[in-house]
Structure 1
Amino acid sequence: MDKLQSRGHLLTEQINPHSQNLDSLSTLEIVDLFNQEDTKTIEAIANARMTLAKTIDVIAAAFEQGGRLFYIGAGTSGRLGVLDAAECPPTFCTPPELVQGILAGGAAALIKSSEALEDRPEDGARAIAEHQITDLDVVIGITAGGTTPFVHGALQAAKAKGAKTVAISCVSSEQVAIDADIDIRLLVGAEILAGSTRLKAGTVTKMALNIISTGAMVRYGKVYGNRMIDVAVTNDKLNDRALRIISDLTELNRTEAQDLLEKSQKKVKLALLMHWTGLDAEAGEALLNQNKGNLRSLINQ
């Protein structure tokens, strides 16, 4: 989009009629208005359920083939992608390479705004090359207003590499077309503070990323029931969570659960398999590896 061309028609830039007198509202009225407007994020997620589900399946299939997931964006959109990627290793004990966030401006842009960098599509393409993205990978471009050149450049370059591409935006396809294999539109309407997409657009994007990454990890065998059985046991809180998971699923007391956890090298999934099959740690690890880490399918056999 030409930099002199107005973006005022975009849904994310429009004026919200419900907040026209925002600076005249009482503090409680401001809180209530936010609460009312944020309900639109739930509806937006519901309306995007089919594309969200398709995205989960594509990512899970990529993981099975040795592929990776990349989020790429600028400003708030990019930071949300980095946040979701950073939360995957402690939650699912995945290597940091499996899910990665690429932010325009790099690490410095996490704490200091560098939105001017979003205007260069060549930087997005360069990021794809630098991360050596291939046809095994999935790239999700996040752009609330749909026009971010950095993201468009990245998606175009990723498609050229044969990667599966997904776009997440908060404007309609009639307003902005995005060339991606899957096109997720999260239409939450105009922001309370006109153009401030860190508000509803940011909230609904975080919700979508929660669903996408968690859903993909469920499909990838990182969850048993609703328990994070691949949790990385790296502190007292997580050790306690691990013990509760083992105790709840096996009826072992905490002392017995701790002993089993130690024997499994603090791997909850392996501890459960050892308990249910009688295998030792080495044999259990080998069996999990043969089955791509999917505990459910082993227990159901």
Structure 2
Amino acid sequence: MPTNFVKTTEQDSKYRHLEKMPVHELLVNMNNEDKSVPVIVEQAIPQIEKLVEVVVEKLSNGGRLFYIGAGTSGRLGILDASEIPPTFGASPDLVNGIIAGGKEAITNAVERAEDSKEQGWEDLQQYNPTDQDVVVGIAASGTTPYVIGALEKCKEQGIITGCVTSNENSPLARVADYPIEVVVGPEFVTGSSRLKSGTAQKLVLNMITTSTMIRLGRVKDNKMVNMQLTNEKLVDRGTKMLMKELKIDDYEKARTILQEFGSVMKAIKEAKN
């Protein structure tokens, strides 16, 4: 670990005696801390842009995106990955989330799962990663062995790597080809990186996948034209999109067309052929 490396995520909260604060004061103070997160993420946009550019390139040529993390970081990666198929109609294996401890760790802490430097790569191996893929490690601390070990092996195999961390100059950032550092500072509850660090990670992951899907043509204008029609709300939304795009006045007619083709994009393409 670098001798000048300091974990700001482990520094004492600037707030004291939280147990004595009234609820209103707790909420105001937490909200004040949260307000700083988007500004810090904004400062990392140049780093995020570099990673997105390479993700778009790789996915355009048949590659995949992997997130790998432990605890909150791993759960956020799985959350982001799981929302890509329904939101953008992409294949479920295009964006993948891997968490230390496996499926059990999504809802329950798995003891010492993040401490193995070999297990991350072993878990990744189940997907047969190649140099066409991109692997992004997520770790607020920037020191999680499970994540660092996986990225080190990826580099040995010529697989492009990125990371999202909340500490500057961390071991994880040093091993990643495209590090993203969102240094949000000490947490409201000392060391609880599910707070500002987790919020920053969620914002960054949103930016990575949403901008990638847009660049891959899965959004038209500002609409989710490839979304999966999995409930009545989405069918209604898609019907209204189709009515506007194809200038159809009859709601039921547009709905029938939508359900025939299964997505707004497919219906639009067929209508214009």
- How does the TM-score come out when normalised to structure 1? 0.86
Deviations 1:219-249 (A, max 9, x none): 1110001100110112212111111211232
1:210 and 2:210 are equivalent in the alignment: no
1:235 and 2:231 are equivalent in the alignment: yes
Structure with the larger RCO, 1 or 2 (CA within 8 Å, 6+ apart): 2
Change (3 A) 1:259 1:116: same
Q: Is the 8 A contact 1:167 1:178 kept in 2?
A: no
Change (3 A) 1:67 1:155: same
Partner in structure 2 of residue 34 of structure 1: 30
Change (3 A) 1:225 1:39: same
Partner in structure 1 of residue 7 of structure 2: 10
Partner in structure 1 of residue 255 of structure 2: 258
Partner residue of 2:54 out of 41, 55, 58: 58
Q: What is the identity, as a one-letter code, of the residue corresponding to 1:262?
A: Q
CA displacement at 1:95 relative to structure 2:
1.3
**Distance in 2, Cα, partners of 1:118 & 1:134:** 23
**What's the % identity of the aligned pairs?**
39
Q: What is the identity, as a one-letter code, of the residue corresponding to 2:67?
A: Y
1:86 and 2:82 are equivalent in the alignment: yes
Change (3 A) 1:175 1:92: closer
Deviations 1:79-137 (A, max 9, x none): 10011111111111111111100000000001111151101010012123222110000
Q: After alignment, is 170-179 or 45-54 more displaced?
A: 170-179
Root mean square deviation of aligned Cα: 1.7
Q: Is the 8 A contact 2:148 2:171 kept in 1?
A: no
**Distance in 1, Cα, partners of 2:19 & 2:135:** 40
**Distance in 2, Cα, partners of 1:249 & 1:109:** 44
What's the secondary structure of 2:82's corresponding residue?
helix
Within 5 Å, which residues of 2 pair with 1:1-301?
Answer: 9-17=6-14, 19-173=15-169, 177-253=173-249, 254-264=251-261, 266-275=262-271, 277=272, 279=273
Deviations 1:128-161 (A, max 9, x none): 3222110000000000000000000110111122
Change (3 A) 1:177 1:83: closer
**Distance in 2, Cα, partners of 1:146 & 1:154:** 13
Deviations 1:39-60 (A, max 9, x none): 1111111010011111111111
Q: Is the 8 A contact 2:162 2:178 kept in 1?
A: yes
**Distance in 2, Cα, partners of 1:81 & 1:47:** 21
Change (3 A) 1:175 1:202: same
User: After TM superposition, where is structure 1 displaced by more than 6 Å over at least 4 residues in a row?
Assistant: none
**Distance in 2, Cα, partners of 1:42 & 1:148:** 24
Q: Is the 8 A contact 2:74 2:97 kept in 1?
A: yes
**Distance in 1, Cα, partners of 2:171 & 2:177:** 18
**Distance in 1, Cα, partners of 2:259 & 2:80:** 29
**Structure 2 unaligned regions, length at least 5:** none
Q: What is the identity, as a one-letter code, of the residue corresponding to 1:26?
A: P
CA displacement at 1:176 relative to structure 2:
6.6
**Structure 1 unaligned regions, length at least 5:** 280-301
CA displacement at 1:21 relative to structure 2:
2.8
CA displacement at 1:255 relative to structure 2:
2.0
Q: Is the 8 A contact 1:123 1:150 kept in 2?
A: yes
CA displacement at 1:10 relative to structure 2:
0.8
How many residues of Structure 1 are paired with residues of Structure 2 in the alignment?
Answer: 270
